[in-house]
A and B are shown apart, each in its own frame.
Chain A
Amino acid sequence: ETGVTQTPRHLVMGMTNKKSLKCEQHLGHNAMYWYKQSAKKPLELMFVYNFKEQTENNSVPSRFSPECPNSSHLFLHLHTLQPEDSALYLCASSRQRAGGDNEQFFGPGTRLTVL
């Protein structure tokens, strides 16, 4: 596998379920990101990790819990979600976190539907 991969590609869950989204990057990058993409809204940055440390949490509800065990893997744990959380969740990585115009590379996303 090359680039940024995400699993699963599609997920349907009930409001009481617990599930996790996985992201893996094979680019040797040090920074990883979670974004939420909803229809007719700009991409929303949710979390940023740099060298496994969380450096940004954009007021994301606690029902979303990120985990970054190493620079190559990023998880988003989901618990008691709401229907309005249904969206495409995109993972991205970049070479380094701070400064300049470091290009972010995106995975294909996980299409989440909360019933």
Chain B
Amino acid sequence: GDSVTQMEGPVTLSEEAFLTINCTYTATGYPSLFWYVQYPGEGLQLLLKATKADDKGSNKGFEATYRKETTSFHLEKGSVQVSDSAVYFCALSDQGGANNLFFGTGTRLTVIP
């Protein structure tokens, strides 16, 4: 079945460091891919998405490219800020009609000044 595997955290970085959070997926068909972010005490918010191969999603300085050949959707940011501290979830959506979201386990990022 469809599933997502993302790197386990926690990840601790200094401010302005480069961030990569790895995400790979298993799916039949052609899923849409998402990164959601959960700030402390809040629900999940969509950070970015990509709906087909080679698409790049971007938002708030974060980017991820849909790589069909490696079944990956790694999240990157060139220079993290303290305010980026949160839990990041990779997810995929079955395009076949059910529109279920399959989430990874989440990666906690802490950015220190």
Instruction: Please list the residues of chain A having a beta carbon within 8 angstroms of any beta carbon in chain B.
Output: 4, 6, 31, 40-43, 45, 48, 56, 90, 92, 94, 97-109
Q: Which of B41-94 contact A (CB under 8 A)?
A: 41-46, 49, 51, 89, 93
B99 near A: Cβ within 8 Å?
A: yes
Residues of B within 8 A of A90 (CB): 43-44
**How far, in whole Å, are A90 and B49 apart by their CA atoms in the complex?**
21
Residue of B nearest to A44 (CB): B103
**How far, in whole Å, are A103 and B45 apart by their CA atoms in the complex?**
10
A42-B99 contact, Cβ under 8 Å, with A101-B49, A103-B49, A108-B42:
no
**How far, in whole Å, are A42 and B89 apart by their CA atoms in the complex?**
9
A4-B99 contact, Cβ under 8 Å, with A42-B104, A43-B89, A101-B49:
no
B95 near A: Cβ within 8 Å?
A: yes
CB distance A98 to B4 under 8 Å? no
CB distance A42 to B95 under 8 Å? no
Which of these, A6, A40, A98, contacts B97 with CB under 8 Å? A98
A103-B46 contact, Cβ under 8 Å, with A41-B105, A43-B89, A108-B41:
yes
CB distance B100 to A56 under 8 Å? yes
CB distance B42 to A102 under 8 Å? no
Most chain B beta-carbon neighbours within 10 Å: one of A42, A102, A108: A42
CB distance A100 to B101 under 8 Å? no
CB distance A101 to B93 under 8 Å? yes
A40-B105 contact, Cβ under 8 Å, with A99-B97, A101-B93:
yes
* CB-CB nearest 7 A-B residue pairs: A106-B43, A101-B32, A43-B103, A106-B44, A108-B43, A42-B103, A98-B97
**How far, in whole Å, are A13 and B42 apart by their CA atoms in the complex?**
22
Residues of B within 8 A of A100 (CB): 32, 95, 99
**How far, in whole Å, are A108 and B45 apart by their CA atoms in the complex?**
10
Which of these, B49, B99, B104, contacts A99 with CB under 8 Å? B99
Residues of A within 8 A of B42 (CB): 108
**How far, in whole Å, are A30 and B104 apart by their CA atoms in the complex?**
25
